[in-house]
Amino acid sequence: MDRFEKVISDYLVPISNLGPQIEDSLYILHNDGSFVYSQGYYHPPGAIFGKVINYPFPGGSLNFFGRDYESIAKPVEEGVRQSIANDFQASEYIRLHPELTEDARKNLITDYHFKFPLNDLKGYFDNRGSLKTAMAKRPQLRGTIEELSDMFKFPIEDMGCTGSLVYGRLDDIDEDVDVVFYGTVKENRRVLDMVYELQKDPDHRIFEYGRYWPIRFIHNGTIICTFYNYIDWDEVPLPSGCGIKLVEENVTATFEITNADHSVYMPLVFKIKDCKVNGKEREIGYFYIYDSSIRGEYFESEILEVKGKVINITRGKESFDIILTTIRHDIKKLREVPIFGDFGTTPTG
């Protein structure tokens, strides 16, 4: 057993323990050593939808406990680490894995993620369990989490972590911590609104990789990246088992957002009104985004123009159409709500 295996053994949970409900934002260890990241709550039987974040690569720019890795999500270009969009990440993964089948590559609900059979996965890192383990190893981290728990009046037992912290990389906790809040939609919206309130102070705002990140903030010199997961599975808009059918593709739609309570989950889900598809009025009340890079960046009363698809979703006895967009480049704000005063939130890059 090398150092890599020794470290992650304190965090890794056997893949047989996963499910049947698979949540968003889980790091999963592939049999080939890659770190897979689950995306959303809708997964096919015996598999997950996700993407590879880091993969083993001799001489790569990352080193995890003695093993060299390279990043697909944040590669180094001309000596500078970049954050690239999902379509470029997907293209790079396909380049690295030309053997991928059409079934693994083409998914109606998520154009830029892939299907990973559970048989190809070694284990996963439980967000809440990993945070508990990491806090026991690093009192400084425990102090930070306790401060956040007190600040947001959020129970520490319902907090987790993601990112490299989830598999035991503790050296970077002075720089940034990825915190996951497990709450009801109402509870998480309260925390989100408090994070937005912090942004009114420019000293709390985070600019990285050429853009602004409204659900990240500075706390005592540390970047806190907030994530939000459903604790009540009855509130998940798109769980596994839903029926999904293509109604129309290559559409342009405009509408106004009326509710953004689900804007920080995966997929991002919005209630909308005054929907027009290709210039014609349509009775469609929901907009879904399958791109987690823009969580928390759209608000009530904003008017959007988007390119995407019309999808029909069947959940139990309900059946309804939605507008679906799978990449941030295809979203344009026609009317923006600058909730931080004159400072807007339109994504860049």
| Under 8 Å between Cβ of 15 and 122 | yes
Q: Give Cα 244 distance to the centre of its chain.
A: 21
Per-residue pLDDT reduced to its tens digit, 158-181: 999 999 999 999 987 778 999 999
Q: What are the b/e assignments for 193-231, b being 16+ CB within 10 Å?
A: eebbebbeeeeebbeeeebbbbbbbeeeebbbbbbbbbe
* Poorest-pLDDT segment among 160-164, 199-203, 221-225, 320-324: 199-203
Q: How confident is the model at residue 349 (pLDDT cuts 50, 70, 90)?
A: very low
Task: Give the whole-number percent of the chain exceeding pLDDT 90.
Answer: 78
Looking at residue 348, what is its pLDDT?
A: 39
Beta strands in 57-109 (DSSP E): 62-64, 67-71, 76-77, 80-81
Select the more confidently predicted residue: 3 or 174: 3
Is the bond preceding 267 in cis, omega lying within 30 degrees of 0?
Answer: yes
pLDDT digits (tens, 9 = 90+) for 321-348: 999 999 999 999 999 988 766 555 554 3
For residue 342, the model assigns a pLDDT of 56
Q: What is the per-residue pLDDT for 302?
A: 97
* Contact status, residue 36 vs residue 196, Cβ threshold 8 Å: no
What average pLDDT score do residues 213-217 get? 93
| pLDDT score for 341 | 61
The tally of CA atoms less than 13 A away on the side-chain side of residue 193 is 10
pLDDT digits (tens, 9 = 90+) for 74-85: 888 878 888 888
> What is the pLDDT, as a whole number, of residue 347?
45
What whole-number distance in Å separates Cα of residue 81 and Cα of residue 75? 6
State how far the alpha carbon of 277 is from the alpha carbons of 77, 254, 256, 284, 286, in Å. 39, 7, 13, 9, 13
Q: What is the chain's mean pLDDT, rounded?
A: 93
Q: Say what the pTM is.
A: 0.94
240 neighbors 41 (Cβ within 8 angstroms) = yes
Q: What is the reported pLDDT for 297?
A: 94
| 176 CB-contact burial (10 Å; exposed 0-12 / middle 13-18 / buried 19+) | middle
CATH class of domain segment(s) 243-335: mainly beta
Question: Please, which pLDDT band fits residue 210 given cuts at 50, 70 and 90?
Answer: confident
Instruction: For residue 43, count other CB atoms closer than 10 A to its CB.
Output: 23
Q: 176 with 222: CB under 8 angstroms?
A: yes
- For 47-64, write each residue's pLDDT tens digit: 999 999 999 999 999 999
Give the whole-angstrom CA distance, residue 18 versus residue 119.
12
- Report which DSSP code applies to 165: G
| Cβ atoms 257, 210 nearer than 8 A | no
Per-residue pLDDT of 277-293, as tens digits, reads 999 999 999 999 999 99
**DSSP alpha helices (H): ranges in the chain?**
3-8, 86-96, 102-105, 127-137, 139-152, 185-198
